[in-house]
Amino acid sequence: MSYLSTYKGGGVLLRLYVQPKASRNEFVGVHGDAIKLAITAPPVDGKANKAVVKFLAAFFKMKKKDFSIKHGLQSRTKSVLIEGVELQDMRRRMEILL
């Protein structure tokens, strides 16, 4: 699972490939070394980034403050830091998803 790694300051990094302006919000599958995530929001004024954080928080039943985009604010390829969770726990959650 190259799309998950530990972050130097604690937490887990999740690599995403984001498809904005999709028909619905959903995980689509694996895209190279990232998870493909379709988001309905357009990539304008940070709307897609906010939608990514909101979707992830709802999907994993965590708080939005536990998610922050560390890399790729203006790119489809993003690294999202997830705090308050262990790598093994995220691996299990992602295995169920995929």
pLDDT at 2: 86
Q: How far apart are CA 58 and CA 74, in angstroms?
A: 23
pLDDT at 98 over 90: no
80, 67 contact by CB (below 8 A): yes
Average pLDDT over residues 66-95: 94
Residue given tokens 């070394």 in the structure block: 33
pLDDT at 1 over 70: no
Span 3-47, pLDDT tens digits? 999 998 889 999 999 999 999 999 999 999 999 999 999 999 999
pLDDT at 95: 84
pLDDT at 23: 96
Name which CATH class applies to 4-97.
alpha beta
Mean pLDDT score across all residues of the chain: 94
The domain spans of the chain are 4-97
Strands (E), 22-63: 26-31, 34-38
- Reference 15, options 82, 64, 66; nearest CA is 82
pLDDT at 27: 94
Which tokens hold the place of 62?
A: 């965590």
Which tokens hold the place of 47?
A: 């709307």
